[in-house]
Structure 1
């Protein structure tokens, strides 16, 4: 299973990236590809940048993509939006099983992955057979939220992988 973790946090090597990598491991990915979107820099502001094109190809060729963002102004980051805008509508993530993952400071935005990030992924063609995962940024690495998610939704995600 080819797994890619996409982290749309403006801070490099963020907790968001760590949470995505942890979730990938719990889902059985031994060595997921990592895309820390912030490394793409100004290439995201236009079209045709070779590094951005390569990143798009990496994600669109995945079996499973964990698309992670901190909660920023009650939604996902503009940085992640710039990256997702590089994909063709309806086709860019066709056949990719995706998990929207968001971290936040409190429970007030717990529905953000489901209500805000998941629809964009589906619009791009991704298969999102399970709800998004929201984790508290202060405890994602010590609580059982990701393990509980995988226990409940892992089989559903597994069934969705490879449906192209």
Structure 2
């Protein structure tokens, strides 16, 4: 967990219950693309919730607490999840429940969902965006939704989303203020 001591950088939070998932690979690639477009230094740090799952509900959870602190101190946070039952994973929700009200206050967050079907591409907008906004995150008007068929083209899909969502405005968002960037 020593990598989690680093703050003020790009942090990728992966809510897939399977370690080393395609969601992780896509999220890390997207985080690098967005960071580069915003002029943020790399490389970033990844929090793999699959590795922390045994501690999420434990009484003693030092690694989870360190991960919560790291995400809350990020310069840019990418929160990624596969779509399960038309929403984000329970593991991601349980982790984010570790924050008190406005636990991500003023943190620019890119919500990212990976789905098998275009029918579920809206899950990020319908479920993940409101959760992150409730925590006080600065979020774009729409989540980055990647279809499994696009996983070989993450850069092109991320660039299209970046340009359409005005996510670059996240970099200028004042700290401590909740803001939804409109497209």
**Do both proteins adopt the same fold according to a TM-score greater than 0.5, normalized to the shorter chain?**
yes
Shift of 1:146: 1.0
Q: CA RMSD in A?
A: 1.6
Structure 1 length-normalised TM: 0.91
Structure 1 residues not aligned, in runs of 5+: none
1:69-123 Cα shifts (integer Å, max 9, x gaps): 0000000001111111111122x11111111100000100121111100111111
Q: Secondary structure of the equivalent of 1:128? A: coil
Q: Does 1:155 align with 2:162?
A: no
Q: 100-109 or 121-130: which moved more?
A: 121-130
C-alpha contact 2:53 2:91 (8 A) present in aligned 1: no
Q: How does 1:111-126 map to 2 (within 5 A)?
A: 111-126=122-137
Q: How does 1:6-155 map to 2 (within 5 A)?
A: 6-27=13-34, 28=36, 29=40, 30-90=42-102, 92-142=103-153, 144-152=156-164, 153-155=166-168
Residue correspondences, number: 162
Shift of 1:9: 0.3
Instruction: Determine the C-alpha separation between the residues in 2 that align with 1:48 and 1:86.
Output: 13
Instruction: Determine the C-alpha separation between the residues in 2 that align with 1:103 and 1:138.
Output: 10
Instruction: Determine the C-alpha separation between the residues in 2 that align with 1:111 and 1:47.
Output: 35
Structure 2 residues not aligned, in runs of 5+: 1-7, 177-183
Bigger helix fraction? 2
Q: Secondary structure of the equivalent of 2:145? A: strand
C-alpha contact 1:99 1:130 (8 A) present in aligned 2: no
